[in-house]
Every structure is written in C-alpha cells, then in structure tokens.
Structure 1
Amino acid sequence: MNADDDGKSRGYASPACSMHEIDPAYMGLTAPAPSKEWITEWRRGKRQRLIEERSSLVDQTQRDSLTAALIARLDTVVTDVAGKRVSLYWPFKGEPDLRGWMASVNAAGGTCLLPVVTAKGQPLTFRAWKQGEKLERGVWNILFPANGPEQIPDIVIAPLVGFDHDCYRLGYGGGFFDRTLAHLGRAPLVIGVGFSQQAIATIHPLPHDIPMDVIVTDSEVRYRETTLRPSPNI
C-alpha cells in the first residue's frame, strides 16, 4: 500500500487479484463438481421441460412417423424374440407407443412383460401380459397386468425422459429402473427408447445411475462404449 505525505493510506498501488472472476478452465483449473442437491434440482427442471416438449408432439401423423422409425431401428437390435421375455411399458405422458410392437413380440414366440410398482423405494416386478388380458391401474394411473405370472426379463425396454451421449437415462425421478436393474440377479439387455429430441448433453450421472446398454430413437441406435453389440440372435 502507498501513503500520502501526511501518512494516511490511499489504497493499493495495483488492483486486487481478480482470478475469481475468470473461468477456471481458462486458468487450467478444474471446476468443482456439482452437488447432489444441485443435480436433483437441475434434473427436476430438465425433466419437466423435456416432458412438455415430448407432449407437444400433438400431430398424430408426425408421432406415428417417428414411432415407426424408432421401431424399425429397434428391430435391428432385437432381431429374434422367440423364447425371450421382453419387458416393455404402457405409454404414459407422450412416450412412444410400442403396443403394436408388443403384439409382434408375442406373435413371434416371445413373452411380453409389463413392470409393476409394488411400493415406493422397492424394485419393480414384471408380469407377463398379452393383448386381451385384464389390466388394472396402479401408481400414476398406469395400467399393469392383473393376473400375469411374475417373470425375470431377458430384455428390458425402458422409456426415456432424456438421455445423454454416454447412454445414461433421465427418468421420472422415482429411481425405480435403476433400483430394479441393480436388484436383478442376472443382467438383461437394457434398451432405452425415446424420440431424438430428448437428447441432452449430460444427465450429470450420480453413483446410483445405471447406463443403458443401447439407446434407440427415431434417428439412431447408440451403443454404450462398453456394450458388446448383440448377436443377430439376441
């Protein structure tokens, strides 16, 4: 610091350090990782926006076209369902409607399963179902098989709210799919399905998040880097 002739201080000779105003990446530093609380809040907002955007696809011709393109790509991943147990879902909040594809799985000798929420904080169970069998309404008013036997899936097809380039899935926030996949005794092939507009840069994955093996949309099939592409008989 400098002083006037009368000995009184008149401030710094040069400006104070302003490193705190500079992007850490510019300084060669690593930005702090976002907190779990920040990620939870960020996901809440991102989830709402993505659901609204998906639900805005009100033109049925456009929706049917996108869904048909998705199914065509799904058929290149799941090419032989005979004897396989395939978990799907009942469409909800603008999700791609794969009920027609479910019927084709049954016709080809596969068994379709629908997930059932048994309790908050618990893994999903899966019950067999085919067209014409009784359904009941459960959590979020979603239909599930009333009487189908419980089975373990060979293939799990999970609807996406959002997804990133590392095949992590943004869901509805209940953690049911992650909890279920961690609970299953043997790992099924896990396929996330959604529309291409649901892609985001990252979901900011947390330790409990389990990536999909494959993401299928109306415009691409994206395999996770560590996933071996399935044989034609998967």
Structure 2
Amino acid sequence: MKREFRKKVISERKKQSPEFISKNSSIIVDKVLQMDCIKKAKTIMLYLDFNNEVQTDDLINKLISLRKTVASPITLKEEKKLIPTQITDLKNGIKIGAYNIREPKLECSHPIDIKDIDVVIVPAVAYDTNCYRLGYGGGFYDRFLENLRPDAKTIGIAFDLQIFDEVPKEPHDAQLNFIVTESKTIIPNK
C-alpha cells in the first residue's frame, strides 16, 4: 500500500512544470523564513532538494546570510544513518551522494552534533493533515528524528498536491510540528 501510494504521489510531483516548482518553492521559502522557530533557531538542518521536491537552495542561502548554522545530511547507506553536516557554500561544498541526492562534501565542512540542532526541515513524498509524513521508504529520517532534543522543532515543506487526509503510517513514523505548503501552514491536532 505504501509503495503504490508513494509511486502515485512522486509521479504527480514529477509532472509539475519547472515554473510551478520554482514559483511555489519561493512562496514556501518566504513563509518558512517568517516562522518564529526559524527566527529563533541557531542551527537548522534541511535537505538538498531533488526530483521536483520543494527547492531548498534559496532557503539555505538566506539562512546562511542570516548567520544561522545550516546543515544537510550525509547519508550512510549501509548504516541507514544521516550525519548532519554544515553547509557554508552551495557552489563548491556539495557533491552527489547516496541515491543521487546532493550532500555536503565532508572535506569542505564538519559534522554537527544532533543535540545542537534547533529545527529540522524534513523531506517527504506526502504528508497528512495531522503532520505525519510518508518518506521514501528507507526510514533514515524516522530514525534521525527520534534522537533530536525534545524541544527541537520539525517542519515538513511540501506542495499542496502532497497533502492528504491520511497517509499510510506505522507506529514508528514521526509526527512533525508543522507542515508548510504554498497555501497553508498545518499544525497537528494533539
């Protein structure tokens, strides 16, 4: 069930035009930058987009210009682990890593302690209206989020087409604090 659902949503996202992705990513980035938890955060981890996800390069550059410590994960495929690593330069400090996803070059940066992270902006295939996510199936982020400080915030960013009343989920799936789309900000019913 998860696999079919995932395939359908990814296929729908891939159909979107570059203009749609760019315009709506820009709206989402502006909304994220207005969030209190982002304004107060010192260290923010977020993904490097691929495959028609909400684009994050502009957000990364703006956060760096606001003097935030910005990290993205290096994926250790065999260990099924994410290593948060600081980004200071999107042009020269990035390489193609596991699953063909961009990630920081370790030689250009250094790992960040998970306990120093104030906010994580999480990728997903789909979200539901109660802030649960359907990831890509590896469980990397679910395992990572379990180890955050209790007061760290989690934000999903997505296009409206990725939001559903319900997504297939399991007991270990993490509930996020917020989801931001081009038209709304969703907070879970606790």
TM-score > 0.5, shorter chain as reference: yes
In structure 2, give the amino acid aligned to 1:43: K
- In structure 2, do the counterparts of structure 1 residues 104 and 201 end up closer, same or farther at CA, with 3 Å as the change threshold? same
Could you list the structure 1 runs, at least 4 aligned residues long, displaced by more than 4 angstroms after superposition.
Answer: 78-83
- In structure 2, do the counterparts of structure 1 residues 52 and 122 end up closer, same or farther at CA, with 3 Å as the change threshold? same
- Summarize the alignment of residues 129-140 of structure 1 with structure 2, pairs less than 5 Å apart: 129-131=87-89, 132-140=91-99
- In structure 2, do the counterparts of structure 1 residues 80 and 173 end up closer, same or farther at CA, with 3 Å as the change threshold? closer
User: For residue 180 of structure 2, what is the aligned residue in structure 1?
Assistant: 216
Q: Distance between the aligned counterparts of 2:155 and 2:50, measured in 1?
A: 17
- In structure 2, do the counterparts of structure 1 residues 206 and 97 end up closer, same or farther at CA, with 3 Å as the change threshold? same
The Cα RMSD (Å) is 1.8
> Which protein is richer in strand relative to its size?
2
Deviation at 1:208, TM superposition (A): 0.6
Deviation at 1:225, TM superposition (A): 2.5
TM-score (norm 2): 0.88
Contact 2:71–2:85 at 8 Å: present in 1 too? yes
Q: Distance between the aligned counterparts of 2:188 and 2:66, measured in 1?
A: 27
Which has more radius of gyration? 1
- In structure 2, do the counterparts of structure 1 residues 94 and 207 end up closer, same or farther at CA, with 3 Å as the change threshold? same
Gaps of 5+ in 1: 1-41, 227-234
Q: Distance between the aligned counterparts of 2:152 and 2:37, measured in 1?
A: 15
Deviation at 1:221, TM superposition (A): 0.3
Q: 1:168-224: CA deviations, max 9, x gaps?
A: 001101111101111335552100011001112212321111111100011100112
Q: 1:7-62: CA deviations, max 9, x gaps?
A: xxxxxxxxxxxxxxxxxxxxxxxxxxxxxxxxxxx11001011011111112x322
Contact 2:29–2:58 at 8 Å: present in 1 too? no
- In structure 2, do the counterparts of structure 1 residues 185 and 65 end up closer, same or farther at CA, with 3 Å as the change threshold? closer
- In structure 2, do the counterparts of structure 1 residues 75 and 134 end up closer, same or farther at CA, with 3 Å as the change threshold? closer
In structure 2, give the amino acid aligned to 1:141: N
State percent identity of aligned pairs: 27
Give the number of equivalent residue pairs.
184
- SS of 2:164's partner is coil
Deviation at 1:75, TM superposition (A): 2.2
In structure 1, give the amino acid aligned to 2:139: G
> Which protein is richer in helix relative to its size?
2
In structure 2, give the amino acid aligned to 1:90: L
- Summarize the alignment of residues 11-30 of structure 1 with structure 2, pairs less than 5 Å apart: none
TM-score (norm 1): 0.73
Gaps of 5+ in 2: none
In structure 2, give the amino acid aligned to 1:54: R
- Summarize the alignment of residues 180-199 of structure 1 with structure 2, pairs less than 5 Å apart: 180-199=144-163
